[in-house]
């Protein structure tokens, strides 16, 4: 029996995938990927630094190319797709949002920690004033129980969000936990619910299907799984699964397969697989973009990167606390040196 529902997909490889390649996208790469996604009829394409507008910094990672150039390039080649951006209040500003809107962006996703929706009010309001499709993005959703998450989502809705997303930033949620959270939001909100997965526990597809079963209609994917940690729900695979289930996405499966193989795969520096460190991200509940930072710190201090990630999980570190990674690594190295000297 065919399911009559329609799922709207946002492709995040040109934003979340920025983490995986150390924010080294070029204009030419973005043009090729965005044009191919547009031709495959992907409705929404997110483009910005991995940590959102104005994310390029020593703390989060310096971009090779100014993100406004990447956004402008993507807008220029897309005939049907809406280009979106991510903004984390405290990193990106209203000024950055205004600049992106002037370039032709049609969607803004305002992201906060899962218990800090109140800091999104002015950014959501400004996005609405600019006429953008405005999305509330509740990150690290595994750290908030369903009722708390629904409360925070309701705040974003009250500020004017057109959609609210549950974001499994650490890839730490299990399918039943996703179902509980989506159910809580569906019972509390009038606006659609979205879901953004990471594959650190090899559960991105299972979690996405659990979200859809509970009524989520906005889903994120990354072509060829290009995203932070072990990547996101793999877009071309997701489209195939939706077709098998009789759920409409409007995306051309063959074109998605071709662009994944011919255009995106050559950009990937390290295979998007579940390595020991990406596994630890999901196991310990650590922000997926921390992986490369932890690996660099581990090399600098001569310690095991898994120890860093486990400690960050124990401290409940969240996105925006990347500077904590060096401190944790130094403490672990000092502690281990003291033990060895006894």
Ligand-binding annotation for 287, yes or no, is yes
Contact yes or no for 89/110 (Cβ under 8 A): yes
Annotated catalytic residue within 19, 49, 123, 293: 19
- How far apart are the C-alpha atoms of 21 and 14, rounded to whole Å? 10
Contacts of 5 (CB under 8 A, 6+ apart): 212, 217, 247, 248
The tally of CA atoms less than 13 A away on the side-chain side of residue 130 is 25
Annotated binding-site residue? 198: yes
How far is 332 from 338, CA to CA, in rounded Å? 10
Tell me: is residue 169 an annotated ligand-binding position. Answer: yes
Look at the chain and count its residues: 342
Active site residue 19: yes
Quick check: 239 and 29 in contact, CB under 8 A? Answer: no
Residue 321: both structure tokens together = 């606390």
Residue 75 CA, distance from chain mean position? 20
Q: What are phi and psi of 221, to 5 degrees?
A: -145, 160
Main-chain phi, psi angles of 135, to 5 degrees: -120, 130
Hey, is 342 helix, strand or coil? Answer: coil
- At 74, list the tokens: 């993507």
15 assigned to a ligand binding site = yes
Query: 196 among the known binding-site residues?
Result: yes
Angle at 137 between CA 70 and CA 170, to 5 degrees: 90
Q: Helix and strand tally (H, E) in the chain? A: 14, 8
Maximum Cα–Cα distance across the chain:
69
Which residues participate in the annotated binding site for Mn(2+)?
16, 196, 198
Which residues participate in the annotated binding site for substrate?
15-16, 169, 196, 287
Which residues are catalytic, by number? 19
Which residues participate in the annotated binding site?
15-16, 169, 196, 198, 287
């Amino acid at each position: 029996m065919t399911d009559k529902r329609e799922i709207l997909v946002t492709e995040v490889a040109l934003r979340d995938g920025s983490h995986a390649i150390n924010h080294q996208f070029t204009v030419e790469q973005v043009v090729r990927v965005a044009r191919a996604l547009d031709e495959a009829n992907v409705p929404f394409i997110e483009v910005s630094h991995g940590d959102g507008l104005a994310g390029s910094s020593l703390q989060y990672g310096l971009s090779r190319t100014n993100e406004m150039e990447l956004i402008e390039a993507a807008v220029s080649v897309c005939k049907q797709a809406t280009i979106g951006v991510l903004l984390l209040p405290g990193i990106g500003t209203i000024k950055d949002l205004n600049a992106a809107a002037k370039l032709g962006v049609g969607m803004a996703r305002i992201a906060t920690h899962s218990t800090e929706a109140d800091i999104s009010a002015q950014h959501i309001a400004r996005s609405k004033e600019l006429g953008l499709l405005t999305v509330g993005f509740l990150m690290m959703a595994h750290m908030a129980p369903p009722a708390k998450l629904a409360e925070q989502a309701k705040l974003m809705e009250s500020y004017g969000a057109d959609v609210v997303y549950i974001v499994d930033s650490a890839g730490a949620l299990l399918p039943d936990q996703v179902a509980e959270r989506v159910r809580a939001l569906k019972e509390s909100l009038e606006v659609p619910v979205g879901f953004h997965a990471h594959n650190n526990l090899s559960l991105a597809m299972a979690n996405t299907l659990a979200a859809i079963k509970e009524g989520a209609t906005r889903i994120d994917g990354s072509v060829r799984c290009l995203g932070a940690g072990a990547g996101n729900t793999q877009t071309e695979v997701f489209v195939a699964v939706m077709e098998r289930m009789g759920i409409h996405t409007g995306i051309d499966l063959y074109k998605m397969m071709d662009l994944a193989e011919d255009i995106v795969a050559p950009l990937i520096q390290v295979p998007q697989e579940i390595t020991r460190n990406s596994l630890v991200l999901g196991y310990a509940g650590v922000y997926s973009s921390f992986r490369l930072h932890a690996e660099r710190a581990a090399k600098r201090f001569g310690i095991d990167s898994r120890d860093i990630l486990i400690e960050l999980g124990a401290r409940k570190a969240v996105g925006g606390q990347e500077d904590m990674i060096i401190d944790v690594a130094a403490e672990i190295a000092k502690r281990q040196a003291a033990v060895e000297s006894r």
